[in-house]
Amino acid sequence: MRHYAMVVGLLAALLAVASGCKSGGGQNASEPTPAARQAPAARPHAEAAAKTEPASQEPVAAADVAATPIAWETDLDAGLQRAKTEGKPLMVDFYADWCVFCHRLDDETYSDAEVQREAARFVCVKVDTEARSDLKTKYGIQGLPTVVLLASDGHEVHRIKGYLPPGEFIREIEKGPGS
Tell me the pTM: 0.65
pLDDT at 21 over 50: no
What pLDDT score does 179 carry?
Answer: 67
pLDDT in tens, 115-144: 999 999 999 999 999 999 999 999 999 999
DSSP state of 64: G
| Element of type H or E holding 149 | strand 146-150
pLDDT in tens, 56-102: 444 444 454 567 999 999 999 999 999 999 999 999 999 999 999 99
pLDDT band per the 50, 70, 90 thresholds, residue 15: very low
* Alpha-carbon span 40 to 71, nearest angstrom: 9
- For 109-124, give the DSSP string: ITTSHHHHHHHTTSEE
The amino acid present at 143, given as its one-letter code, is G
For residue 167, give the nearest of 109, 93, 107 by alpha carbon: 109
Among the listed ranges 19-28, 130-139, 170-179, which one has the minimum average pLDDT value? 19-28
What pLDDT score does 67 carry?
Answer: 76
Rg over alpha carbons for the chain, rounded to the nearest Å, is: 21
SS3 of the chain: helix, strand, coil, percent, to 5: 45, 15, 40
pLDDT at 105 over 70: yes
What pLDDT score does 65 carry?
Answer: 52
**8 A C-beta contact, residue 21 and residue 30:** no
What pLDDT score does 178 carry?
Answer: 75
**8 A C-beta contact, residue 80 and residue 135:** no
Please name the residue ranges forming H helices in the chain: 2-20, 44-50, 76-86, 100-104, 113-119, 133-138, 166-173
Q: What is the mean pLDDT of the chain?
A: 75
Going along the chain from its start, the domains and CATH numbers come out as: 72-179 (3.40.30.10)
What pLDDT score does 66 carry?
Answer: 63
